[in-house]
Amino acid sequence: MLIGEVSERSGISTRMLRHYDRIGLVSPSGRTPGGYREYSEQDVRRLFHVEGLRSLGLSLNEIADVLGDLSFSPAAMVEQLTARARDRIAREEELLRRLDRVRASGPDAWSDVLRLVELVRGLGAGTPSARQRLALSLPGGEDRDAVPLAEAALNEPDPNVAGALRWALARTGDRALPVLVEALDSPDADRRRRAVAALEKIGSPRASAALAGAFRHPDPLVRRRAVLARGARGRADAVPALVALVAEGSDDVEAADVLGLLARLHGCADEIAHAVAGGLAGAAEPARRRLAGALAEVPGPRARAVLAALAEDPDRGVALTASFVLRARHSDDRPPGGEDGESGAGGEGGAGPRAPR
């Protein structure tokens, strides 16, 4: 076949066919009676091999190496092409993420777009120190920085940079809350953990409410931090889970503080004492000691009765903790009206010292 016929049947331009010929990749090996160069069946087969390899992403030099080396390993070539394709996809996905961040920030002018592109590129800098410097140098209160900062904080592996990003993000207010709330359900555990940390750092009423809403989350870390946020917002339905955290020793100091807050400010003292009494059944010594200490800031006769029973606990550490808490309550609590039906220095209602742990 002459070059024009090959071009027509293969869809490859005559210009590309001449280029293949010029570099020696596919050259017509025959001659017509009139002296024109002619592609043989073998030449056409080689041409389609070339096009097939090009479709896989090989360069013309790589194709020449493959076709010229009979010992070339197809498996190695496929592995190389796979790695190259993954790298290309990763770059495209990163570009897409950057564009999404810029779009989500709602730029109104080209200057806004250019600034956001510069910010996104800076947040993706190769060294942690550069990313940290950028986060710390940002002016506060820029709403349009919120989404790029949130995405950067959710993806940042370096703890120092992550802290700087959360600090910068908190200065933008609540603008990034939808991104952070969505990340709570991410299949990536690290991304969920970073979303929790960012919501806690923002600390606004809306951020705390968003985190508190995840108190039934399947991820234990998200669930623990959400229970703490829910209790801090005065929700009594967090009491059983908070008592469980104390018993388990997971965020137990914070859980005990939140229980004290619920008891003193939200009228949950009896409910907490009842939950602690229930949690003592079958609990090991360390859990009983922590539960006794958690009652230090819980006023009322029910809490005192639970502590009195624990003061007789067969384990000396538990008994000493409960006895200490009882003495502290009698000596230090100063209620304004005597919540136990008592008045004066012997009443209970304020926060006493924390029992030794």
- Structural domain includes residue 46: yes
Domain C-terminal end among 72, 102, 133: 72
Task: Please check whether residues 143 and 194 belong to one and the same domain.
Answer: yes
Task: Please check whether residues 100 and 166 belong to one and the same domain.
Answer: yes
- Structural domain includes residue 148: yes
pTM over 0.85: no
- Please, which contacts does 49-57 make with residues 24 or more away whose CB atoms are closer than 8 Å? 50/20, 50/25, 50/26, 51/10, 51/12, 56/81, 57/81, 57/84, 57/85
Round to whole Å and give the CA distance between 14 and 23.
Answer: 14
The helices-and-strands tally (H runs, E runs) of the chain is 19, 2
Task: Please check whether residues 66 and 98 belong to one and the same domain.
Answer: no
Round to whole Å and give the CA distance between 154 and 121.
Answer: 16
- Structural domain includes residue 328: no
Domain C-terminal end among 72, 101, 119: 72
Position 334 scores a pLDDT of: 47
Q: HEC profile for 38-83?
A: ECCHHHHHHHHHHHHHHHCCCCHHHHHHHHHCCCCCHHHHHHHHHH
Task: Please check whether residues 111 and 204 belong to one and the same domain.
Answer: yes
Task: Please check whether residues 58 and 155 belong to one and the same domain.
Answer: no
Domain C-terminal end among 192, 221, 250: 221
CATH number at residue 44: 1.10.1660.10
Q: Establish how many alpha carbons lie within 13 A of residue 241's alpha carbon, considering only the half-sphere containing its beta carbon.
A: 22
Task: Please check whether residues 97 and 208 belong to one and the same domain.
Answer: yes
Position 348 scores a pLDDT of: 44
Region 96-122 average pLDDT? 58
> Counting Cβ atoms within 10 Å, is residue 344 exposed (0-12), middle (13-18) or buried (19+)?
exposed
Per-residue model confidence as pLDDT tens digits over 20-55: 889 888 989 888 888 888 899 888 888 888 887 887
- Structural domain includes residue 168: yes
Residue 288 has pLDDT above 90, yes or no: yes
Task: Please check whether residues 112 and 145 belong to one and the same domain.
Answer: yes
Task: Please check whether residues 189 and 112 belong to one and the same domain.
Answer: yes
Per-residue model confidence as pLDDT tens digits over 296-350: 999 999 999 999 999 999 999 999 999 999 998 865 554 444 444 443 333 444 4
Q: How many domains does the chain have?
A: 2
Q: What angle do CA 195, 196, 200 make, to 5 degrees?
A: 115
Lowest mean pLDDT among 41-50, 142-151, 217-226, 271-280: 142-151
Position 255 scores a pLDDT of: 96
- Structural domain includes residue 315: no
- Structural domain includes residue 192: yes
Residue type, 241: A
Task: Please check whether residues 202 and 97 belong to one and the same domain.
Answer: yes
Task: Please check whether residues 11 and 67 belong to one and the same domain.
Answer: yes
Residue 248 has pLDDT above 90, yes or no: yes
- Structural domain includes residue 24: yes
Task: Please check whether residues 207 and 144 belong to one and the same domain.
Answer: yes
- Structural domain includes residue 20: yes
User: Can you read off the two tokens belonging to residue 296?
Assistant: 């230090």
Task: Please check whether residues 201 and 108 belong to one and the same domain.
Answer: yes
Range of the domain at 110: 93-221
Q: Residue 302 belongs to what H/E stretch?
A: helix 301-310
Lowest mean pLDDT among 24-38, 138-152, 274-288: 138-152
